[in-house]
Amino acid sequence: MARKDKLSGNEAVAIAMKQIDPDVVAAFPITPSTEIPQYFSKFVADGEVHTEFVPVESEHSAMSACIGAEAAGARTMTATSANGLALMWEMLYIAASCRLPIALAAVNRALSGPINIHNDHSDTMGARDSGWIQIYCETNQEAYDTMIQAFPIAEHKDVRLPIMVCFDGFITSHSVENIELLEDEKVKEFVGEYRPEHYLLDKDNPVSVGPLDLPPYYFEHKRQQAQAMVNAKQVILETAKKFEELTGRKYGLFEEYRMEDAEVAVVIINSTAGTAKAVVDELREKGVKAGLVKIRVFRPFPFEELGKALAGLKAVAVMDKADSFSAAGGPLFAEVRSAMFDHARDTKAVNYIYGLGGRDVRTDDIMKVYEDLLEIAETGKVKSTVNYLGVRE
Amino acid sequence: MAYNLKATTEKPERLTGGHRMCAGCGAPIVVRTVLRALKPEDHAVIGSATGCLEVSTCLYPYTAWKDSFIHSAFENAGATVSGAEAAYNALKRAGKIDHTTKFIAFGGDGGTYDIGLQSLSGAMERGHDMVYVCYDNEAYMNTGIQRSSSTPKYADTTTSPAGKAVPGKPQFKKDLTQIMVAHNIPYVAQSAPFKNFKDLYEKAEKAIYTPGPAFLNVFTPCPRGWRYNTPDLFDIVQLAVDTCIWPLYEVINGEYKLSYKPKQKLPVEAYLKSQGRFRHLFAKENMHMVEELQQEVDRRWNHLLKLCGETE
3-state DSSP of A72-126: HCCCEEEEECHHHHHHHHHHHHHHHHCCCCCEEEEEECCCCCCCCCCCCCHHHHH
**How confident is residue A64, by pLDDT bands cut at 50, 70 and 90?**
very high
Q: At the topology level of CATH, where does B5-307 sit?
A: Rossmann fold (3.40.50)
Provide mean pLDDT across the span B11-22. 95
**Which positions in chain A touch B59 (Cβ < 8 Å)?**
211-212, 214
Contact A206 B94 (CB under 8 A): no
Spatial strand order of the sheet with A297-299 comes to A52-55, A24-27, A76-80, A103-108, A163-168, A133-137, A297-299
Tell me the pLDDT tens digit for each residue of A224-280: 999 999 999 999 999 999 999 999 999 999 999 999 999 999 999 999 999 999 999
Among A51, A61, A66, the residue with its CB nearest the CB of B119 is: A61
For residues A68 and A199, membership in a common domain is answered with yes
Instruction: Enter the pTM of the model.
Output: 0.98
Last residue of a domain, which of A247, A276, A311? A247
Give the whole-angstrom CA distance, residue A247 versus residue A149.
12
ipTM exceeding 0.95?
yes
Cis peptide bond upstream of A300, omega within 30:
yes
Determine whether the interchain pair A211/B71 forms a contact, defined as Cβ–Cβ distance below 8 Å. Answer: yes
Residue B99 neighbours by CB under 8 Å, 6+ apart: A203, B43
Query: Residues A339, A360: one domain?
Result: yes
Helix pair angle (A9-20, A140-154), 10° resolution: 30
Contacts of A60 in chain B (CB under 8 A): 75-76, 79, 119
Query: Do residue A203 and residue A276 come from a single domain?
Result: no
Determine the residue of chain B that is closest to A208 in CA distance: B69
Query: Average pLDDT for residues B77-102, to the nearest whole number?
Result: 97
Q: Which residue of B has its CA nearest to A221?
A: B60
Range of the domain at A277: 254-389
- Which residues, 6+ apart, have CB-to-CB distance to B32 below 8 Å? B13, B14, B15
**CB–CB contact B118 A206 (8 Å):** no
Q: Give A171-201 pLDDT, tens digit per residue.
A: 999 999 999 999 999 999 999 999 999 999 9
pLDDT at position B1, please? 67
Last residue of a domain, one of A247, A270, A297: A247
In tens, the pLDDT along A15-46 reads 999 999 999 999 999 999 999 999 999 999 99
Q: Give percent of chain B with pLDDT exceeding 70.
A: 99
Q: Using a CB–CB cutoff of 8 Å, tell me whether A55 touches chain B.
A: yes
Q: What are the distances in angstroms from CA A227 to CA A96, A161, A232, B189?
A: 12, 11, 9, 48
Whats the size of chain B, residue-wise? 312
Where residue A2 falls among pLDDT bands split at 50, 70, 90? confident
| B187 vs B249: CA distance, rounded Å | 11
B45 and A72 within 8 Å at the Cβ level: the answer is: yes
Residue A210 and residue B72: Cβ atoms within 8 Å? Answer: yes
Same domain for A178 and A279? no
B contact test, residue of A49, A200, A207, A217 with most B CBs within 10 A: A200
- Maximum separation of any 2 CA atoms in chain B, in Å: 69
State yes or no: pLDDT of B311 exceeds 90. Answer: no
Question: Are A242 and A269 contained in the same domain?
Answer: no
Chain A stretch 93-122, residues whose beta carbon is closer than 8 A to a beta carbon of chain B: 94, 98
CB contact under 8 A, A61 and B78: yes
Q: Do B93 and B119 form a contact (C-beta atoms < 8 A)?
A: no
Please tell me whether residues A188 and A298 are part of one structural domain.
no
A23 touches chain B (CB under 8 A): yes
Chain A neighbors of B84, CB-CB under 8 A: 68-69, 71-72, 200-201
How confident is the prediction for chain A on average, in pLDDT? 98
Instruction: Indicate the helix (H) or strand (E) that contains B172.
Output: none
- Taking the Cβ of residue A209 and every Cβ of chain B, the question of whether any pair is shorter than 8 Å is answered with yes
Dump pLDDT digits (tens) for A198-222. Answer: 999 999 999 999 999 999 999 999 9
Spans of all domains in chain B? 5-307
Cβ distance B126 to A56 less than 8 Å, yes or no, reads yes
The stretch B130-155 carries a mean pLDDT of: 98
> Chain B within 8 Å of A217 (Cβ-Cβ)?
yes
Whether A57 and B75 lie within 8 Å, measured CB to CB: no
Contact residues on chain B for A206, CB-CB shorter than 8 A: 43, 65-69
Structural domain total, chain A: 2
Any residues with CB less than 8 A from the CB of A210 and at least 6 apart, and which? A71, A94, A98, B58, B70, B71, B72
Using alpha carbons, select from B103, B165, B120, B115 the residue that is nearest to residue B140: B115
Q: Is B66 helix (H, G, I), strand (E, B) or coil?
A: coil
Q: Best of B91, B99, B119, B128 to disrupt the A interface by mutation (most A CBs within 10 Å)? A: B91
> Among residues B87, B96, B95, which one has the least CA distance to residue B45?
B87
The CATH number that applies at residue A236 is 3.40.50.970
Q: Is B8 within 8 Å of B201 (Cβ atoms)?
A: yes
How many whole angstroms separate alpha carbon A245 and alpha carbon B114? Answer: 53
Mutate to test the interface with A, among B70, B101, B115, B142 (most CBs of A within 10 A): B70
Instruction: Say yes or no: A27 and A139 in one domain.
Output: yes
Half-sphere exposure of A250 (CA within 13 A, CB side): 3
Which of A50, A64, A198 is most worth mutating to test chain B (most B CB atoms within 10 A of its CB)? A64
DSSP for A188-206, please give it.
Answer: HHHH-----SS-TT-TTS-
DSSP annotation of A303: H
> B84 with B45: CB under 8 angstroms?
yes
Asked if A26 and A192 touch (Cβ cutoff 8 Å), the reply is no
Residues A154 and A51 in one domain: yes
In angstroms, the separation between the Cα of residue B206 and the nearest Cα of chain A is: 23
Same domain, A145 and A79: yes
**Whole-angstrom distance, CA of residue A132 vs CA of residue A102:** 9
Averaged pLDDT of chain B: 97
Cβ burial A48-62 (10 Å sphere, 16+ → b, else e): ebebbbbbbbbbbbb
Instruction: Please tell me which of the candidates A50, A54, A76 has its beta carbon nearest to residue B82.
Output: A54
A100 to chain B nearest CA, in Å?
A: 12
Mean pLDDT computed over B256-283: 97
pLDDT digits (tens, 9 = 90+) for A365-390: 999 999 999 999 999 999 999 999 99
| Domain end among A231, A247, A263 | A247
Contacts with A91 from chain B: Cβ below 8 Å? 72-73, 76
